[in-house]
Amino acid sequence: MKSPAPTTNRRNGSFGHRSTPEHLGYSPTSGHNSSKVSRRNPMAATVMSVIGIFTACFTPPDTNNSKSFVDSEEFKSSSVASEASRSGSHKARGSSRGVSITLHNSIQGEPAIVKFTMEEIFQVTRNFSPSFKIGQGGFGAVYKAKLLNGTVVAVKRAKKSVNEKHLGVEFQSEVQTLSRVEHLNLVKFYGYLEQEDERIIVVEYVPNGTLREHLDCNHGSILDLASRLDIAIDVAHAITYLHMYIDRPLIHRDIKSSNILITEKLRAKVTDFGFSRQAPDIDSGMTHVSTQVKGTAGYLDPEYLRTYQLTEKSDVYSFGVLLVELVTGRRPIEPKFELKERITAKWAMQRFIEGEAISVLDPKLDQTAANSLALEKILELALQCLAPQRQNRPNMKRCAEILWTIRKHYRELSASEFRSFSTSSQRSASTKE
Ligand SMILES: Nc1ncnc2c1ncn2[C@@H]1O[C@H](COP(=O)(O)OP(=O)(O)OP(=O)(O)O)[C@@H](O)[C@H]1O
């Protein structure tokens, strides 16, 4: 089958396949330490090929904004089948949401989807009052609103584009996906509206900004490593759920820090399903889906980029980039840094294999023993996720399991560091007395 051509079909900020791939001239065997690497790390072969793959990275864009278990109790409690997705076709006037809604089956056999009316949307957003506006993304403007029953929601209003067709496709994809999923770590779907040139999605309001904003300290405090680990685990749970635990599994295709919303308790919810695609049906012998490249520069799986073959492992690759972002605090592409540090994952992996992992730790984080150990372990996992060939990457469930172990050891070491710190403080206090 002929692979579809890559397109520039991308909403603002993120991109499809627009940038020209550029050979950055990096030689994996250059540098002084490749043999030390092999001794130090049994995954040396993977390491070298991972590093090599970054040579086929993109020209950094101008902008600094580098734009995209079920066995455990934790997972079980967070995975709930949606009421809407279980219900059939019916009307619910004056429902618990407090506004009149219509549930209907748009496609035979598809889950019921809640439709809003334009009056309802105008009412709750006060005619899209600028004072209700909370964000602006590639999709359009985002408004905070309160439904009549008090539920606080985010109303995402698609911008009107000359390229109506592809926006319509992305909108439908997002609606279909959102209506099929429900998980604690995915943004909850309340409904949508599509009328003439208006396209609106109503989702759960997540009050604490995006992960990227937290890494930039835009919310006034530094996100500690314990919270970053929790967030990584939440995202791993969400993607595992999409890949493994729904009918007709899904590939998100745009995992990135600005698509991870943060709750008041600093937990994560994955959002933005405009690019999501159905995963290949393994039972019918499919190994991949052939499709045009979509996603965000810096997060894109190089194998997908080269072959247009999409699998769940493309999300795993993006997750690897996200792990590096979490521990370094840097964006995946940092155009302002010197060349060897410009592609953050490549730089961090290189430092890791040189035995200098600590040098990539976000300078906002303390260099404690617990932080250093967790950093090493997270980078080791990132290295596996970033393997150039998809079959060498772990699946998302395995990533979550590895992260649980990292978190367990992190907590134990932090607690013992805290105990020895308290004991030595007490000792010095009593010496002074
Ligand atoms: N459910 C939500 N709850 C609270 N704020 C939200 C929600 N969804 C989006 N926002 C805010 O609106 C901004 C824009 O979101 P949107 O998803 O449209 O774009 P984006 O992901 O930043 O960009 P792109 O679509 O190009 O990837 C976000 O950065 C966030 O601050």
Query: What is the pLDDT, as a whole number, of residue 162?
Result: 57
Query: What is the pLDDT, as a whole number, of residue 165?
Result: 67
Q: What is the CATH number of the domain that holds 306?
A: 1.10.510.10
CA of 155 from ligand 1 middle (Å) equals 10
Place of tokens 């206090």: 429
Ligand 1 atom with the smallest distance to the CA of 13 is 26
Closest to 11 (Cα-Cα) out of 211, 238, 166: 166
Residues 288 and 368 in one domain: yes
Closest to 413 (Cα-Cα) out of 376, 359, 380: 376
CA of 135 from ligand 1 middle (Å) equals 6
Residues 355 and 407 in one domain: yes
DSSP notation for 100-147 = -EEEE-SSTTSPPEEE--HHHHHHHHTTT-GGGEEEE-SSEEEEEEE-
Nearest CA to ligand 1 atom 1: 205
Residue 431 and residue 88: Cα distance in Å, rounded? 73
CA of 365 from ligand 1 middle (Å) equals 27
- For residue 230, being part of any structural domain is answered with yes
Residue 346 among known ligand-binding residues: no
Alpha carbon distances (Å) from 121 to 58, 145, 178, 191, 396: 41, 9, 19, 11, 37
Contact 92, 102 (CB under 8 A): yes
Residues 63 and 154 in one domain: no
Q: Is the dihedral of CA 14, 144, 211, 273 positive or negative?
A: negative
Residue where a domain stops, chosen among 181, 204, 227: 204
Domain span including residue 150: 90-204
Residue 259, ligand 1, Cβ within 6 A: yes
Ligand 1 atom with the smallest distance to the CA of 209 is 31
Residue where a domain stops, chosen among 167, 184, 204: 204
Top mutation candidate among 65, 204, 210 for ligand 1, by most atoms within 8 Å of CB: 210
Length of the chain: 433
Residue 142, ligand 1, Cβ within 6 A: yes
Residues 406 and 373 in one domain: yes
Query: What is the pLDDT, as a whole number, of residue 85?
Result: 35
Residue where a domain stops, chosen among 204, 230, 246: 204
- For residue 319, being part of any structural domain is answered with yes
Residue 263, ligand 1, Cβ within 6 A: no
Query: What ipTM score was computed for the predicted complex, to two decimals?
Result: 0.96
Overall domain count for the chain = 2
* Phi, psi values for residue 365, rounded to 5°: -100, 145
- For residue 26, being part of any structural domain is answered with no
Residue 69, ligand 1, Cβ within 6 A: no
Residue 257, ligand 1, Cβ within 6 A: no
Reported as type and span, the H/E element at residue 90 is strand 90-92
Nearest CA to ligand 1 atom 28: 135
- Mean pLDDT of the chain, nearest integer: 78
Nearest CA to ligand 1 atom 25: 138
Query: What is the pLDDT, as a whole number, of residue 432?
Result: 65
- For residue 99, being part of any structural domain is answered with yes
Residue positions annotated with a catalytic role: 254
Residue 249, ligand 1, Cβ within 6 A: no
CA of 206 from ligand 1 middle (Å) equals 10
- For residue 14, being part of any structural domain is answered with no
Ligand 1 atom with the smallest distance to the CA of 135 is 12
Residues 251 and 357 in one domain: yes
Residues 214 and 191 in one domain: no
- For residue 11, being part of any structural domain is answered with no
Residues 198 and 214 in one domain: no
- Burial (CB < 10 A; 0-12, 13-18, 19+), residue 423, is exposed
CA of 18 from ligand 1 middle (Å) equals 22
- For residue 22, being part of any structural domain is answered with no
Alpha carbon distances (Å) from 337 to 42, 208, 333, 359, 413: 30, 29, 9, 15, 34
Spell out, as residue ranges, where the chain has pLDDT lower than 70. 1-113, 162-165, 431-433
pTM of the predicted protein model: 0.78
Residues 193 and 217 in one domain: no
Residues 191 and 226 in one domain: no
Top mutation candidate among 202, 204, 258 for ligand 1, by most atoms within 8 Å of CB: 258
Query: What is the pLDDT, as a whole number, of residue 13?
Result: 34
Residue 135, ligand 1, Cβ within 6 A: yes
Nearest CA to ligand 1 atom 26: 138
- Amino acid (1-letter code) at residue 122: F
Nearest CA to ligand 1 atom 21: 259
CA of 325 from ligand 1 middle (Å) equals 19
Residue 178, ligand 1, Cβ within 6 A: no
Query: What is the pLDDT, as a whole number, of residue 315?
Result: 98
Residues 150 and 214 in one domain: no
Residues 267 and 217 in one domain: yes
Residue 213, ligand 1, Cβ within 6 A: no
- For residue 431, being part of any structural domain is answered with no
Residue 14, ligand 1, Cβ within 6 A: yes
Please give the torsion angle defined by the CA atoms of residues 274, 386, 401 and 266, in that order, rounded to the nearest 10 degrees.
-50
Residues 302 and 197 in one domain: no
Q: What is the CATH number of the domain that holds 152?
A: 3.30.200.20
